[in-house]
Amino acid sequence: MERQPFVSAANVSERLAQPPSLAISTVIFTLRPSASSGRPTLWLPLVRRIREPFKDQWALPGGPLTQAESLQDAAARNLRETTGLAPNYLEQLYAFGGLHRSPSQRVVSIVYWAMVQSTQAALAQESENVKWFRADGLMDLAFDHNEIVDYALWRLRNKMTYGSIAYHLLGEKFTLAQVREVYEAVLDRTLDPANFRRQLKQGANIEATEEYLQGGKHRPPRLYRYTGTTARDSPVP
């Protein structure tokens, strides 16, 4: 049976008379291996609410905006306080202001999204009330946070069509196979390795290094780096 949120004692007219509250929430994506296949999959951190409304349900990291900080500073602070993360990529996603997002008062959330490399995510703080979950197939979250995650995934998949954003999930140097794994994890579909490699080398802003990935059983693959240009890349296949 679905748990019903706590409803405050204030009547409807009092609730509508209150000025809207402004909050900041953040969706953070990283790649972690699937427990079943070992292939990279998208994960995100959630926090367990310790007060009403929606006490004990999981939600996106966030909180109120203070008078002395910008929107982006507030998003960065919330991430730092809940997960210990300081992502290099932090962008405003959307504003969510439905009339009935919260049962206690009108809340408008400015949502940011971030991407961190798996090595950074491995250092993130975890506790009883802060844990990482796979981005697909989430449980019912507090407020409208399932809708927010779905929108963030949609935006991420659209941005992945033009490659540069993929490199925020990778280290400074990477193989072409690792880039393909990022695309497959985000787009949730298998890509032809040869076709992807050809498209990537022709259109993406990457350059080959003189280094190779060591430690495998086969011929070590060459490492590449992202050039950091802002030109739009060719769409992936």
Residue 12 has pLDDT above 60, yes or no: no
The dihedrals phi and psi of 7, each to the nearest 5 degrees, come to -115, 125
The fold of 163-226 is Arc Repressor Mutant, subunit A (1.10.10)
Q: What percent of the chain has pLDDT over 90?
A: 57
What pLDDT band is residue 77 in, cutting at 50, 70 and 90?
Answer: very high
Residue 41 has pLDDT above 60, yes or no: yes
What pLDDT band is residue 162 in, cutting at 50, 70 and 90?
Answer: low
Strand locations in the chain, DSSP E? 21-33, 40-48, 58-59, 62-64, 89-96, 107-115, 130-134, 173-174, 206-212, 222-226
Tell me, what amino acid is at 237? P
What pLDDT band is residue 3 in, cutting at 50, 70 and 90?
Answer: low
CATH code of the domain made up of 12-158: 3.90.79.10
pTM for the model stands at 0.85
Domain borders along the chain are 12-158, 163-226
Residue 166 has pLDDT above 80, yes or no: yes
Query: What gap in Å lies between CA 106 and CA 21, rounded to an integer?
Result: 6
Query: What gap in Å lies between CA 112 and CA 28, rounded to an integer?
Result: 9
